[in-house]
A = this chain, B = another copy of it.
Amino acid sequence: MNEPLTRTFLSKAIANLKDVWRGIADSGYSAETASLRPELPDGDLDRVRRQMRECLESRGGEVSARARAAALGRAYLALDATGRKRFLTVMAEDFEPDPAAIDEAIRALRTATDRRAQQDARAALRQVLESPRLRLLTQFNALPEGVKFLVDMRAEILSFLPQEPTLAPLERDLKGLLATWFDIGFLELKRIAWDSAPATLLEKLIAYEAVHAIGGWEDLKNRLDSDRRCFAFFHPRMPSEPLIFVEVALTHGLAENVGELLDKSAPVQNPRDADTAIFYSISNAQKGLAGISFGGFLIKRVADSLSAEFKGLKTFATLSPVPGFLAWLEGVKGDEGTALLLPEEIARMTEAGIAAETSAALANALRGKDWVSDPARVEALREPLLRLCARYLAREKAGAKRALDPVAHFHLTNGARLERINWLADTSAKGLAQSAGIMVNYLYRLGDIEDNHEAYSDRGEVRVSASVRGSLKS
């Protein structure tokens, strides 16, 4: 849902770990790894490989093995990008399961006759299919900040992966491990507030916010004001790192314009009077947890928490971007692109000075933001764009059942319905560039969530409100 963390931020986070690790690693297990060169030339690589082997053999006992893993972790952090790729490649290639043992276990499974023997044989086969590198990854966890280390390591692997496809098995193992450790049951929901959150945490919100960039401390304070709420999931072993966070505005009625929500000079509402909670930004904060999803739980738990605090809340909805709208419009080719526009719409646009007979031409005409300040063009564009956006969200698919728009897919999977499409709702440069300023409300209605989810998951059916249904028919 958010852009990749900048490299700088990531490096800094890892740099912070270095101090912590120094102490641990100084404990005497770093002889092998002490003087490695940053780019990890062959001889150094051999030493790394040997140390990895010793970790896996648990030489000197499990406690010592973990201390060795600390030294390896420290060595990793001191490497440059080349060295890290080489380090990771060793993990990916040298610590595969043993093919002979697999063959043997398959044979044993084949010959198992009764139920119990089959169960045992399947378990044994599964055991030998577990790659040794998984155990190596686990050993990093005994260390201060070990979990964060692994999360950041996966972020790096993901960034290397396009150029280094051999890292894929390592990435798969690491993802599986993190998915188990970041099971929703271990996460804590915490409110982040101006009067309790430390500055280090607030800094991270500014850095990680992916939907509507936070313009500094005053802007942040505005988003944590008495009619706002911010919640995040935390893992007990990464207590100062949000995993995912959501910003909520407590409003009267469905908010339809994010500029108004974010306006620092707007008067603060009394949240006791609010009847609606608007989730206007959800950002994943850990690139290393990509593909491990907690968004649905976050929305549910935040809605529960808000309901308990504010008895007057009746509506839970989002105000969401439509990140793929214009890209789709631009990409529709040929006749299909022509067919998207209705003759009367084309006529009205032409009259307003917009020459757009195909969807691509229309997308092209929307580049830049000058049209926004021309009432005639705005008026001529309004109807066709709202109609096309409804169609894009409700009909266009990536595959059989999955909505093409990623934000739509996220909320529809969570059981929301497409409630309202808002014109000129985000006139920031980013908002105009991705969706001609259109934003969408997805509605979470408790009683409908399961049905909506089933309709979408089983049949790819997008549930919409009456008004959106109207747009779709026209």
Q: Show the binding face of A for B, using Cβ within 8 Å.
A: 59-64, 66, 96-97, 99, 102, 106, 109, 116, 118-119, 122-123, 125-126, 129-130, 138, 140-143, 146-147, 165-166, 168-169, 172, 177, 180-181, 183-186, 194-200, 202, 216-217, 221, 236-237, 240, 296-297, 300, 413-415, 449-451, 453-454, 457
Selected contact of A453 from candidates B64, B196, B237, B240, CB within 8 Å: B64
* Contacting residues, chain B, for A96 (C-beta < 8 A): 119, 122
A183 to B454 alpha-carbon distance, docked (Å): 36
Is A60 within 8 A of B185, CB to CB? no
Is A185 within 8 A of B61, CB to CB? no
Is A195 within 8 A of B141, CB to CB? no
A25 to B60 alpha-carbon distance, docked (Å): 48
* Contacting residues, chain B, for A129 (C-beta < 8 A): 122, 125-126, 129
Of all chain B residues, which has the CB nearest A146? B185
* Contacting residues, chain B, for A221 (C-beta < 8 A): 199
Is B183 within 8 A of A138, CB to CB? yes
Shortest CB-to-CB span from A180 to chain B, Å, is: 5
Shortest CB-to-CB span from A65 to chain B, Å, is: 10
The main secondary structure of chain A at its interface with chain B is helix
Is A185 within 8 A of B64, CB to CB? no
Is B184 within 8 A of A142, CB to CB? yes
Listed from nearest, the 8 A-B pairs whose CB atoms lie closest are A141-B185, A60-B450, A236-B236, A61-B453, A126-B129, A195-B200, A142-B185, A119-B169
Report 13 cross-chain contacts, Cβ distance below 8 Å, ordered by A residue. A60-B454, A61-B450, A63-B296, A63-B297, A63-B300, A125-B125, A142-B183, A142-B184, A143-B185, A147-B185, A186-B236, A194-B198, A199-B217
Of all chain B residues, which has the CB nearest A300? B63
